[in-house]
A and B are shown apart, each in its own frame.
Chain A
Amino acid sequence: MSIKTILNSSIIKKVWMALTGLFLCTFLVGHLAGNMQLILKTGEEGRRAFNEYAYFMGHNPFIKALSYITYFSIIFHAFQGFYLTYQNKKARPQGYAYSKPGANSSLPSRYMAILGTLILVFIVTHMANFWWKAKIKEDIPLHTFTVTVPNPMGGVSQKQELYYTHNMQLIPKSDEIVVKNHTDLYMANLNVKVAEGYKDLHTVVMDFFNPKKNDLALAFMLLYVFSMGALGFHLWHGFASGFQSLGINHKRYTPMIHGLGKLFAVIVPGLFALITVLIYLK
Chain B
Amino acid sequence: MATKFINITLKIWRQKNKESKGALETYPLNNVSTDSSFLEMLDQLNEQLIQEQKAPVAFDHDCREGICGMCSLYINGRAHGPDTGTTTCQLHMRKFNDGETIYVEPWRSKAFPIVKDLVVDRSAFDRIQQAGGFVSINTSGKTMDANAIPIPKEKADSAFEAAACIGCGACVAACKNSSAMLFVGAKVSQYALLPQGRVEAKERVLNMVRQMDEEGFGNCTNTGACEVECPKGISIENIARMNREFLFAAAKSEK
A11-B242, A88-B178, A249-B241 given; A109·B213 CB < 8 A: no
Contacts of A144 in B (CB 8 A): none
Interface contact A244-B236, CB-CB below 8 Å: yes
**Which residues on the B side are within 8 Å of A92 (C-beta)?**
108-110, 176-178, 218
Count of A interface residues, CB-CB < 8 Å: 43
B177, A247: Cβ atoms under 8 Å? no
- Chain A 137-174, CB-CB to B under 8 Å as 1, else 0, gives 00000000000000000000000000000000000000
Contact among B77, B221, B247 for A99, CB-based, below 8 A: B77
* Chain B, interface residues (CB within 8 Å), range: 35 or more
C-alpha gap A100/B245 in the complex (Å): 33
B-chain residues with CB within 8 Å of residue A110 when the two chains form the complex:
176, 223
**Contacting pair B109 A109 (CB below 8 A):** no
Known: A244-B239, A247-B247. Is A94-B108 also a contact (CB below 8 A)?
yes
Whether A1 sits at the interface, judged by CB under 8 Å, is: yes
- Contact call A104/B110, Cβ cutoff below 8 A: no
The residue in chain A whose Cβ has the minimal distance to the Cβ of B82 is A103
Q: Report chain B residues within 8 Å CB of A245.
A: 220, 222, 243
Please classify the interface of chain B as helix (H, G, I), strand (E, B), loop, or mixed, using the class held by over half of its residues.
mixed
Give which listed residue, B76, B222, B250, contacts A241 with CB less than 8 A: B222
A245 to B109, CA, bound (A): 23
Task: List the 5 shortest-distance A-B pairs measured between CB atoms, nearest first.
Answer: A247-B244, A249-B240, A91-B218, A100-B77, A88-B177
**Could you name 26 residue pairs across A and B whose Cβ atoms are closer than 8 Å?**
A10-B179, A14-B219, A15-B243, A15-B247, A84-B219, A87-B218, A88-B177, A88-B178, A88-B218, A88-B219, A91-B179, A92-B108, A92-B110, A92-B178, A93-B110, A97-B105, A101-B225, A103-B82, A104-B228, A105-B225, A244-B236, A244-B240, A244-B243, A245-B222, A245-B243, A246-B247
Which residues in B have some Cβ–Cβ distance to A below 8 Å?
A: 11, 13, 24, 74, 76-78, 82, 103, 105, 108-111, 174, 176-179, 181, 206-207, 209-210, 212-213, 216-225, 228-229, 236-237, 239-247, 250, 253, 255
